[in-house]
Structure 1
């Protein structure tokens, strides 16, 4: 099935998911949409998050996608069920794959979750974790300064370290967790800084790897896997500044994708 996979995110964070999809599914074409102009979604109202997500979905649906990956934790928390119910194609988010990876990693059943304000207030990770393992303890913390910083391309250095230390102060102070879920796909771009602040003893979980595995499994079940090799024909759409998007894409992929386009919704 040679139709593309659609990937949506509030900005550039979902590129970390796209990277893993490209690694694990080299025969697949991705069409990525990052709504960088209206990012971050984490401080938006529920109605705005739902509206913006559906606008991205409608755009990608015109590209004849065969599956949708919601590479945004906030959008996953508020739209996954309705999208799964209303779209005629398979749809997955990043929360359940991230929760499963955390359950595998934790030894003491105390898991930290950092995410946007909307994701944390939705309790989506806590629900997903406790559905798998009811006895687990979840320590959640909103980090609203992370996404705007990443969207500006500030991924390391003194400013990044200062913001991460300030944001994680309360979580570190009451540190019983042995596993930390990066509950926003922007946050893996700060992983090295986060790890240096919280220490090497803590296992950091990104949902990207597990999400790509689940995507592969679902494509196989639905007989939708592509069989022909691809020649880097992935397409990336953004609503924001092209140069910032190109810069961050180059950091993630180690080269700049050929097809990056700016669009309006």
Structure 2
């Protein structure tokens, strides 16, 4: 049955302060045991750490800011080593550990791995080692896809690393075993976004070649399985047509984070908009300009750091 196209985050009308759409939050016993002696009251005003291989995680940051305007963010984009999708698992874990250690110097109260590839390969390792709660973007996107599909055929587009990990099929089938999952690696899309070519005709042609292949599998739900891809949503929408629901894990992850912070009494209850800090491993000015075009407010500064020192 055909139904009206929708991108899930665009059609949400719920009040972010209410809990109608609460996702299930996994056990946090590991980090609670390590951090249980910390004063919850004082930690509410601590920032949230967010990291990605580059600018894609800004789509997650944007949703966090929209849904939780009083929270402060510390964002790190690994612009010197993007993309992660072509890197090995061991390399991605090493990079993620360095970024984790950097974010912990900023006294963050929680960390969001705003990168599907890093979520696939490093989330489990970091969760075992962390003294603060850490979430990725996979589970929330998979859950939303299962809830959205009507014909049981879900498409996934992502980096080669994410697709090769098979994390989305595993997670989706754990939630609903009879669903069919069709994946397509789109390795050229992240570099195009990082170059700022989100509305270029060359980018549109490449998207068409990738997405038309998966469209022919008669999916009714498509997960944008890379946080860079929502920046290409208009082109993806045109190609997929009105019969397919787009799932944006960035939006779903912000909902999951909000519920996690609320359940652990870490949600900031201030009345002033949060301040945000941005760090990168290269191309600070270019990142600042790109971030300013995506986020609700202009980014005044992004700071280049030597992430290998952490």
Map 1:55-94 to 2 at 5 A: 55-94=98-137
Cα RMSD (Å): 1.2
The answer to whether the 8 A contact 2:83-2:190 is kept is yes
- Within 1, Cα distance between the matches of 2:236 and 2:289? 21
- Match of residue 196 from structure 1: 238
- Match of residue 144 from structure 1: 187
- Within 2, Cα distance between the matches of 1:201 and 1:160? 23
Aligned equivalent of 1:96, options 133, 136, 139: 139
Aligned equivalent of 1:132, options 167, 175, 184: 175
| Alignment: residue pair count | 264
- Match of residue 217 from structure 2: 175
Matched, 1:248 2:259: no
The answer to whether the 8 A contact 2:69-2:273 is kept is no
- Within 1, Cα distance between the matches of 2:147 and 2:53? 28
- Match of residue 249 from structure 2: 207
- Match of residue 97 from structure 2: 54
- Match of residue 265 from structure 2: 223
Matched, 1:3 2:49: no
Q: TM-score, structure 1 length as denominator?
A: 0.96
- Within 1, Cα distance between the matches of 2:300 and 2:274? 8
- Unaligned runs of 5+ residues in structure 2 are 1-43
Give the deviation of 1:254 after TM superposition: 4.8
- Unaligned runs of 5+ residues in structure 1 are none
**Deviating more after overlay: 215-224 vs 58-67:** 215-224
- Within 1, Cα distance between the matches of 2:185 and 2:272? 39
Give the deviation of 1:166 after TM superposition: 2.1
Q: TM-score, structure 2 length as denominator?
A: 0.82
Structure exhibiting the larger radius of gyration computed from Cα positions: 2
The answer to whether the 8 A contact 1:71-1:94 is kept is yes
- Match of residue 120 from structure 1: 163
Matched, 1:234 2:276: yes
- Within 2, Cα distance between the matches of 1:256 and 1:26? 15
Give the deviation of 1:194 after TM superposition: 1.1
- Match of residue 17 from structure 1: 60
- Within 2, Cα distance between the matches of 1:135 and 1:125? 14
- Within 2, Cα distance between the matches of 1:247 and 1:262? 14
